Structure 1
Amino acid sequence: MVLELHVWGPAFGLPSLDPECLGAIAYFTQALDRSEWTVVRSSPSAVPTRRLPTLHDPQTQTWTASLPSIISRLTLNPPPTFHSPDTPLTPSQLATSTAYATYLTASASPLLSLSLYASTANWTASVRPAYTSSLPFPLGWTEVPAVRRAWLRLADATGIDLLDAEDAERPAGPPEDGGVLPPDIKLPKKKQGVADLLTPEQKARIGLHALVDGVMDVLADLKGEEKKWFLLDDDDGEEGAGGPTTLDCVAFGYLALMVYPDLPRPWLRDRIVEKYPALQAWVNDMTAVCFGDGVPTAAPVAGTAEARRGEDGVVRVAGRFVDGVGRSVPGLGEEWRRWRDVGLGVGDVLAIAGGTAVAAVLVAAYVLHKRGSALMPVLGAPVHRWEAPRRGLAGFGAAGALFGGFFTPEVRFGSVGGGESGRVQTEVQAPFGGKVDGVEVDVNVDID
């Protein structure tokens, strides 16, 4: 059975939009025959390791995540056609390869983060649509924001802001003295230096160029002018079998995503093309060597309209969506991750979600029955209504209510003695200060 390399989907003319996934694909083209492996377009929620790239061996049912672990697994359990690209390297070159690969992961990742994820224009126009097209609906609502948040943490560490031109138009903030002077008072103009003449975008661009140069200078010095690859030349190794090594594959994953994407704000590509044309030529050479026979076509992720796999239908996509929602809820996400790390399957996730929904409905119905019975009585039960007796003009219904607003009765009581009969006369004040005839009522008052 062929090995399955699960990666993020293609974008920008490359077989994957993730640098580590792209490096893994390049490594497989150099280490294995194409008949022994295939590329599967996937996402972290679709694999047990929750990380890409991931290698799945259907024969042993094992999952291996991250490029270093995949290389180690292939070295310890090599397939029949496996041949390591690092075979011609000396022990010293192997140590150099490991060191520079680690350096690239730590230093080149922030550059990609700033270019593809921190820049609002680049993210909205190019990167986010690429991720969305790689995922079945509605996983783009949960997984794509999580991916961007993870990459933005790398950009935040650089301390660089204002990557877009529209950001340069934002006000710099209130004046330092905290007040505004009257228009008739003019202070002498402050002498401006070079830094004061730069816009915020220009200042950010200087910082970006410094970051790019710091990484690219190291790679350019390592490659030099003589070698075609970073550590070997075409005539190196046994019988002149020199070629791309693991370091070249790792570097290709990062540099290709810096050079090939056509972005609205191509500051990273412009800097590399302008100052490091040799590295751009190296990226083109790697593309020709690794994908000269065509870019490996990733099998569509299960659940899309392009392909359906038996183990990944609508139910599985729904479970992945519920899992993504649970992980993104503030305050609940960490606990949800712990539950999922225990090993809950898709069926367990759907059962928990369904049970929670049913419990919420039952609790709401019970509370409504106990507290809201006056507003919503039980169906079929008799309804009783009590009203206070109507007095005065209110006893005449709607007409009494109408005229009651115009006439305010004023009751005057006379004084009567014990056992005497009296008379109470009510004078009703009419509009415009006049009076109308009152109503006389006979009242018998008994006073002990």
Structure 2
Amino acid sequence: MSFQLHVWGPAFGLDSIDAECLAAIAAFRHIFHHYDWSLIASNDTSLSPDRTLPALFHDDTWISGYMNIISYAIHHNTSYAGSLADNDLTPQQEADLLAYSSLLSTRGSGLVALSLYASPNAWVELTRPAYSALLPFPLTWTIPITMRAAAIEKAESLGIGYLAAEAEADEAASKSGLETTSTGFLRLRQQLGPKKSMQPEQTAAIRFKQLADDFFATLDDLRGSKKYLLGTSSPSSLDFLTYGYLALMNVQTPFPILAQSLRCRPLIQFLRMIETEPQSYVLPRQESKPRGLPGTIYVFADGAIESIAGAGESWRRWRHGGIKSDEGEEIQDSSQTPVAVGSAVLGLVVVGAAIFLRGLSPFGASTHRFAVPKEETGLYRFGEVGAMLDILPIFE
């Protein structure tokens, strides 16, 4: 059976909206002949037991996560189109591979989260519409918000998570007096203190650029004058993982602080090299199987339940097989069962309403409303006198 690589679909002119998916696609294209694998933009994390993408299906086995997938592919591939250098690394190179992979998955993912998810402008104009194009109705109402919440948690690990305004704050900005600044984030209220001469959003933008510059400088120092990051004769899994993150960092957002920082670094040449390396074949894309109505309902209800305060955590525990005791034994949390069940029912009710009203535009799309002008209805048709009479209770 050929290898089936399941990923998030294309966005921003790239093969995927996700960094690890981009890395896996580039690595598989290097490792395999086109007839040994297929690329499936399923956009469905529920396929994998770990509920993450990328995910690889081979010989009735699911493997998720970029590094796990690459390790599995290397050890189960018998007809190489190309080879990764991972099996011939020195102890120092192996240590660098682990250390810099961790840097990418923490600091790198946090920077991407700030650029594409936490910034209200980038989220509304680019990222949310991209997810809406990848997902079927009504999953456009739940999954993008879940993805943004996860990205905001990564942004918070960088110490400037307060930039990650909630989605509701985007719409409430004009009503509350907040406005978007040249940095792409919401203008925060001026704070008292010795630094009050510098607005908080300006300080945050400077901090964001410093984090980006430090991140790129670290990778530049690792590469030096070498072609590949670890000094190997062929690319390693680290090279493709770095490509995945740099490709998303180079996306032109409304306020491209991260992209501008990257384009000033020698590392941009590494990105160009990976992008322009000769490709021997077109990606072996394969259509994903339709979810079907039951599958869509399940995924939507699952996302709706997770978003309910007080019930989401309990539902996640039950979904993953119950709660574990200190000894590792599975126990039931009976006090939370009614909450989870009630939330499931609520989720299904919401799904029914959503399907009934499926004519509504998904998140990220424009909504057009057509209505008869108020002055042409009721007593308003009789001019000013009619308008005065219309507000009286007897005419309701």
Asked if the contact 1:85–1:245 (Cα under 8 Å) also holds between the matched residues in 2, the reply is: yes
Report SS of the residue matched to 1:12.
coil
Which residue of structure 2 aligns with residue 387 of structure 1? none
Asked if the contact 2:107–2:215 (Cα under 8 Å) also holds between the matched residues in 1, the reply is: yes
Once the 2 structures are TM-superposed, how far is the Cα of residue 97 of structure 1 from its aligned partner? 1.9
CA RMSD of aligned residues (A): 2.8
Change beyond 3 A, Cα 1:207–1:80: same
Once the 2 structures are TM-superposed, how far is the Cα of residue 335 of structure 1 from its aligned partner? 2.5
Asked if the contact 1:115–1:268 (Cα under 8 Å) also holds between the matched residues in 2, the reply is: yes
Matches within 5 A, 1:358-397: none
Residue identity in the other structure for 2:306: R
Change beyond 3 A, Cα 1:334–1:168: closer
| Structure 2 residue 328 is matched with structure 1 residue 329 | no
Give the Cα–Cα distance (whole angstroms) in 2 for the partners of residues 290 and 141 of structure 1.
40
Asked if the contact 1:21–1:52 (Cα under 8 Å) also holds between the matched residues in 2, the reply is: yes
- 2:249 corresponds, among 251, 258, 264, to 258
Residue identity in the other structure for 2:189: P
Residue identity in the other structure for 1:257: L
Once the 2 structures are TM-superposed, how far is the Cα of residue 144 of structure 1 from its aligned partner? 1.1
CA distances 1:83-110 after superposition (whole Å, capped 9, x unpaired): 5411453343233222221222222111
Once the 2 structures are TM-superposed, how far is the Cα of residue 272 of structure 1 from its aligned partner? 1.4
Change beyond 3 A, Cα 1:3–1:208: same
Once the 2 structures are TM-superposed, how far is the Cα of residue 46 of structure 1 from its aligned partner? 3.8
Once the 2 structures are TM-superposed, how far is the Cα of residue 27 of structure 1 from its aligned partner? 1.4
Once the 2 structures are TM-superposed, how far is the Cα of residue 251 of structure 1 from its aligned partner? 0.5
Give the Cα–Cα distance (whole angstroms) in 1 for the partners of residues 139 and 307 of structure 2.
13
Give the Cα–Cα distance (whole angstroms) in 1 for the partners of residues 163 and 61 of structure 2.
45
The unaligned stretches of length 5 or more in structure 1 are 177-192, 237-241, 304-311, 344-351, 361-448
Which residue of structure 1 aligns with residue 226 of structure 2? 227
Report SS of the residue matched to 1:248.
helix
Asked if the contact 2:247–2:271 (Cα under 8 Å) also holds between the matched residues in 1, the reply is: yes
Structure-2-length-normalised TM-score: 0.70
Which residue of structure 2 aligns with residue 122 of structure 1? 122
Give the Cα–Cα distance (whole angstroms) in 2 for the partners of residues 301 and 324 of structure 1.
21
| Structure 2 residue 273 is matched with structure 1 residue 285 | yes
Residue identity in the other structure for 2:241: V
Give the Cα–Cα distance (whole angstroms) in 2 for the partners of residues 105 and 280 of structure 1.
19
| Structure 2 residue 291 is matched with structure 1 residue 273 | no
Residue identity in the other structure for 1:31: I
Structure-1-length-normalised TM-score: 0.63
- Percent identity between matched residues is 35
Could you say which structure has the higher helix fraction? 2
Change beyond 3 A, Cα 1:98–1:156: closer
Residue identity in the other structure for 2:139: L
Once the 2 structures are TM-superposed, how far is the Cα of residue 76 of structure 1 from its aligned partner? 3.6
Change beyond 3 A, Cα 1:110–1:230: same
Asked if the contact 1:30–1:290 (Cα under 8 Å) also holds between the matched residues in 2, the reply is: no
Residue identity in the other structure for 1:6: H
Once the 2 structures are TM-superposed, how far is the Cα of residue 118 of structure 1 from its aligned partner? 0.9
Once the 2 structures are TM-superposed, how far is the Cα of residue 202 of structure 1 from its aligned partner? 2.4
Give the Cα–Cα distance (whole angstroms) in 1 for the partners of residues 105 and 236 of structure 2.
16
| Structure 2 residue 342 is matched with structure 1 residue 339 | no
Once the 2 structures are TM-superposed, how far is the Cα of residue 71 of structure 1 from its aligned partner? 2.1
Asked if the contact 1:136–1:301 (Cα under 8 Å) also holds between the matched residues in 2, the reply is: no
Which residue of structure 2 aligns with residue 65 of structure 1? 64
Asked if the contact 1:31–1:85 (Cα under 8 Å) also holds between the matched residues in 2, the reply is: yes
Matches within 5 A, 1:139-154: 139-154=139-154
Which residue of structure 2 aligns with residue 44 of structure 1? 45
Asked if the contact 1:209–1:271 (Cα under 8 Å) also holds between the matched residues in 2, the reply is: yes
Q: Which moved more, 1:78-87 or 1:103-112?
A: 78-87
Once the 2 structures are TM-superposed, how far is the Cα of residue 44 of structure 1 from its aligned partner? 1.3
More relative contact order, 1 or 2 (CA 8 Å, 6+ apart): 2
CA distances 1:57-104 after superposition (whole Å, capped 9, x unpaired): 1xx211011112112222443343375411453343233222221222
Which residue of structure 1 aligns with residue 189 of structure 2? 171
Residue identity in the other structure for 2:142: T
Q: Kindly tell me the number of residue pairs found equivalent between the two proteins.
A: 309
The unaligned stretches of length 5 or more in structure 2 are 165-179, 323-340, 350-396
CA distances 1:118-175 after superposition (whole Å, capped 9, x unpaired): 11101110011111211111112121111111110111222324585175655315x6
Report SS of the residue matched to 2:135.
coil
Which residue of structure 2 aligns with residue 159 of structure 1? 159
Once the 2 structures are TM-superposed, how far is the Cα of residue 315 of structure 1 from its aligned partner? 2.0
Change beyond 3 A, Cα 1:153–1:162: closer
Asked if the contact 1:5–1:37 (Cα under 8 Å) also holds between the matched residues in 2, the reply is: yes
Give the Cα–Cα distance (whole angstroms) in 1 for the partners of residues 196 and 159 of structure 2.
20
Residue identity in the other structure for 2:90: T
| Structure 2 residue 259 is matched with structure 1 residue 243 | no
Give the Cα–Cα distance (whole angstroms) in 1 for the partners of residues 116 and 286 of structure 2.
24
Residue identity in the other structure for 1:252: Y
Give the Cα–Cα distance (whole angstroms) in 1 for the partners of residues 91 and 320 of structure 2.
39
Give the Cα–Cα distance (whole angstroms) in 1 for the partners of residues 190 and 149 of structure 2.
26
Change beyond 3 A, Cα 1:199–1:293: farther
Residue identity in the other structure for 1:285: M
